[in-house]
Structure 1
Amino acid sequence: MKNRLLSLLLIVMLVLGLVMGVSVSTSAAQRYGDVDGDNKVTIRDALYIQRFLASIIGLDDAAQERGDVDADGKITIRDVSMIQRYLSGIIDSFPSGMELPTQPPTIAPTEAPTEAPTQAPTEPEDVITKVKNNIPIYFTNNKNWSKVNAYLFNSETSAQLKAWPGTQMTNYTTNSLGEKVYSMTVDVTQYDRVIFNNGTDQTTNMPVTKASSGYFVDPIGKNKAYSGKYIGGLYPYGQSGEGTLNTVSFTYPDGNYKKNVYVWLPEGYNANDKSKKYSVLYMCDGQNLFGQATTLSGYEWECDESVLSLMQNGGDGVIVVGIACGNTDARRNHELTPNLGQLAPIADSSYQNGGGKAFSDFVTDTVIPYVEQNYNVNSIRGIAGSSSGGIEAFYIGMENMDKFRYIGALSPAFIL
């Protein structure tokens, strides 16, 4: 589960585009939440606000007034959240009310600018190297099986490369411990799960992504919780180093305590080489990312191993910055919950009056400036998290679209 989460976290992205001169002008509509002016409130209205916040489209004054459903005088991600809650039946009206007061319509220009910019950007835009779809995977036979099969399948379509027990792997080499290493090539667009086996014993099923390279069998033995199957492990095959992990602490204003920020640098990072700049992935729950000793749950997400595997498959190195949450579940719930209005009945008191804005401000006002002043980074930033961290990452990204190119919201707690 943790490995699948990690793999997804490192490949998920939100692609943004900029279209100048597009405007939505619908002054005749008279219903709050009806941003597109079709006389009803739909998910399209929430989408229009998101695109407006990303500067993809324009909204005239009347459309913005109808979109301000929380009645705070401006269009924000909070309005998107309230429209989604209204459509889900969590709330039955907006703080603004439902019907606008009668007033003369306001008409905004709908034509796009007729003049194009006369000066091209002086520097090329930072880009990310795309990783190939066909990747080699390696299995270290630390159980000394007489043969190794790889049963590859698609978890959504149930398509399989070959019927059980799968494809017999080829002995690739022998490592320094005398263990045979087996290899094969996989198209990750077709198959996303693998079970290694010898026809009798087998591992649990494990993810196959562009951030996969090496696999092995957990030496502890078969796990009763998995019906007598071996737990499989992941490692960055072919990478000799582990990268560098730095820890820095800042005073956190919401609670006035020292909060750890973990900065992981990929193998090959050279502080003196200013010509090589790295993208940065900022992540919630920083205590869970790089080592088991600091986790709240006892499970490490293995971010460093996944990035190293991604590099092994031809991807760029990326700096991963983990922002720790509070050291208790209640504190984590508080810090990673945006205060966007009434919570669902399922939420306990630790989610009330969430401190998500303080966490967001800490990331943008303290962590990002520190990273950009002390490390060789380019303009590409992503923000990611899981569960409560997922909804907080979504909130941070949507509130700061000028700062983040990608959002990774994994299993986000929108139920709150």
Structure 2
Amino acid sequence: MIRLIAALLALIGLAAPLAAQGQGRFVEYQNVSAAGLPEQRLSIWLPPGYDADDRRYPVLYMHDGHNLFDVTKSNFNKIWAADKAMLAVGASGKVEPHIIIGIWAPGVDRHRQYLPRSLYDMSSGNLRDQMDGMTKGGVISDRYLEWIAGPLKSWVDASFRTRPGRDDTAIIGSSMGGLMSCYAFFERSEVFGRAGCVSSHWPAVDPRTIDEAELKGLWDAWFAAHLGQPDGRRVWMDHGTATLDQYYAPYQQVVDARFAAAGWQKGRDWESRVYEGAEHEENAWAARLPEIFGWLLAKD
């Protein structure tokens, strides 16, 4: 499978570089085949100096890759500016530059690709019905995770000068991508040593149409089953207080309490921040991304 993916990418070839922005080098792969998934696409940022030396780099995988770097390819004419954030924290000396692997969301399949399969399997009744309504075609996040942690990571590590170990591999996303990042972090704890769960869409569906108490109980049980011990890992969580983010506090409080009860040390193993007035959108995430990188990816 790994050889098949690598061969396919080699046949696709390196597309024209993305529009130059800041420093570093952007490359893009289109029409990437992944077993059991919609067609995938990658936008990759290589840090400044990558082509001038032989050092190896830690790797950051990010969901919604179309919204990370190039405003002309974004959904809402807004981006995270992830390359600029990485340059900023790198200049501080507190964070090593990371290769960023931006994985585009597959359009209408985004929800079913990002909804954690294990949470879906725990759901029932009205919540399960609503999940089914939003994931037409069935939940495939388990396949997506296996692809990232398996064939994709193997290809990245073989194609670029990476440091492939757990402590040098991070994953970050927002909204449903925040849920997906938490899912990846806990289900594949041997692969991902850092996770950023930004404005995670804890309601999973429309927050106005579900039983809040039921879903809080579901998340509490999910984290109780998955947390384990930190073992040197680190996870960042946050949310704003406006637009869609206004619904997240009750769920985040349950999650925070579960981390504390499990013995994870806040400020060292996990962080949870509230940004007053921040909305559920890319400009808000871009504004705090240097802070996220600075804590989550800091050198030990």
TM-score by length of 1: 0.39
Match 1:349 to one of 110, 118, 133: 133
Give the match for residue 363 of structure 1: 148
Other-structure match for 2:181: 393
Q: Deviations over 1:145-176 (max 9, x none)?
A: xxxxxxxxxxxxxxxxxxxxxxxxxxxxxxxx
Aligned partners of 1:397 and 1:373: how far apart in 2?
22
| 1:243 corresponds to | 24
Query: Whole-Å Cα distance in 1 between the matches of residues 196 and 38 of structure 2?
Result: 28
CA contact (8 A) 2:37 2:140 kept: no
Q: Name the structure, 1 or 2, with higher relative contact order (CA <8 Å, separation 6+).
A: 2
Q: Distance in 2 between matches of 1:409 and 1:246?
A: 25
Quote the Cα distance in structure 2 between the aligned partners of 1:255 and 1:372.
21
User: 1:236-291: per-residue Cα shift (whole Å, max 9, x none)?
Assistant: xxxx952101112321333553x1112101111136x33x1111111111111111
2-side partners of 1:414 and 1:319: how far apart? 28
Give identity over the alignment, percent: 24
Residue aligning to 2:160? 375
Higher strand share: 1
> Is the CA contact (8 Å cut-off) linking 2:65 and 2:103 kept in structure 1?
yes
Q: 2:64, 2:104 within 8 Å by CA — same for their partners in 1?
A: yes
Pick from 97, 122, 127: which aligns with 1:317?
A: 97
Secondary structure of 2:117's partner?
coil
Q: Secondary structure at the match of 1:335?
A: helix
One-letter amino acid matched to 2:96: D
Question: Could you say which residue in structure 2 is the equivalent of 1:335?
Answer: 113
Mapping for residues 169-318 of structure 1, pairs under 5 Å: 242-249=23-30, 250-257=32-39, 259-270=40-51, 273-274=53-54, 276-314=55-93, 315-318=95-98
> Distance in 2 between the 1:244 and 1:413 partners?
32
May I ask how many residue pairs the two structures share in their alignment?
Answer: 172
Q: 1:256 to 1:384 in 2, by over 3 A?
A: closer
Q: Deviations over 1:157-196 (max 9, x none)?
A: xxxxxxxxxxxxxxxxxxxxxxxxxxxxxxxxxxxxxxxx
Q: What secondary structure is seen at the aligned counterpart in 1 of 2:27? A: strand
More helix per residue: 2
Partner residue in 1 for 2:241? none
Give the distance between the partners of 1:292 and 1:241, measured in 2 at CA. 13
Q: Is the 8 A contact 2:59 2:162 kept in 1?
A: yes
Helix, strand or coil for the counterpart of 1:377? coil
Quote the offset at 1:298 in angstroms. 2.6
Measure the CA separation in 2 of the matches of 1:294 and 1:241.
17
Give the TM-score taking structure 2 as reference length: 0.53
| Structure with the greater alpha carbon radius of gyration | 1
CA distance in structure 1 between the aligned counterparts of 2:62 and 2:105, rounded to whole angstroms: 10
Distance in 2, matches of 1:256 and 1:333, equals: 12
- Show structure 1 runs of 5+ residues with no match: 1-239
Structure 1's 295 and 348: CA in aligned 2 closer, same or farther, altered over 3 A? farther
